Chain A
Amino acid sequence: GAGVSQSPSNKVTEKGKDVELRCDPISGHTALYWYRQSLGQGLEFLIYFQGNSAPDKSGLPSDRFSAERTGGSVSTLTIQRTQQEDSAVYLCASSQDRVYGYTFGSGTRLTVV
């Protein structure tokens, strides 16, 4: 497709389970961000990938969170042993080279019950 695709669009999981969220960026985009929007909070930076460089993980809230980007394309955000405070909309954005602007996905709504 022409845009950034995130899947699933909605995910309900039980506390303690692991979840994987997927982001398909625009083909050729080298930069990829993950953010999250928790209830009543602003957009929170999680992790940033740029090409083949080591990712900037400074925003990951705990070691239960990890992300990878395979082949410089698809990215997966994994949350282990989910907690209720992980409930949020997780947003992915990609860019050709951080100069021409970012294209955002529509988000994955995660609910931990």
Chain B
Amino acid sequence: KNEVEQSPQNLTAQEGEFITINCSYSVGISALHWLQQHPGGGIVSLFMLSSGKKKHGRLIATINIQEKHSSLHITASHPRDSAVYICAAFTGNQFYFGTGTSLTVIP
């Protein structure tokens, strides 16, 4: 069993839809990261969470420490949101990565 599980693996949405990507982890963490990678592009750090909720533009990330679960939400999705989204659990000593969620937003 992987230390970090993401779902779904692939997601196709219509422009404007509300999107949720889920991440469950089994290790003790000091922080949970959400990363984004566009095709042909580099890795962008979207959020680092240790509790509660963070919002940046149309992106919202939440974490429930007791349930060891985090979600990344995208409101009013747009084709430029199409990317791979990666959840990473940071224990303080090392990282554990999810396999990523490939999101395609269709105009």
Contacts and interface: CB of A to CB of B under 8 A. Distances in A.
A7 interface: no
A93 B88 CA distance: 13
Interface string B75-100: 00000000010101010111111001
Interface in A79-100: 89, 91, 93, 97-99
Given A42-B48, A43-B35, A43-B48, A98 B42 contact: yes
Contact size class for A?
A: 20 to 34
B12 interface: no
B37 to A, nearest CB: 6
A101 interface: yes
Given A37-B90, A89-B90, A106 B96 contact: yes
A10 B33 CA distance: 21
Main secondary structure on A side of the interface with B: strand
B45 A33 contact: no
Nearest to A101: B84
A48 interface: yes
B39 A91 contact: no
A68 to B, nearest CB: 20
Contacts of A30: none
B41 interface: yes
Interface in A1-25: 9-10
Nearest to A107: B94
Nearest to B99: A101
Going nearest first, the 6 A-B pairs with the smallest beta carbon separation are A43-B45, A42-B48, A106-B94, A107-B94, A109-B93, A104-B97
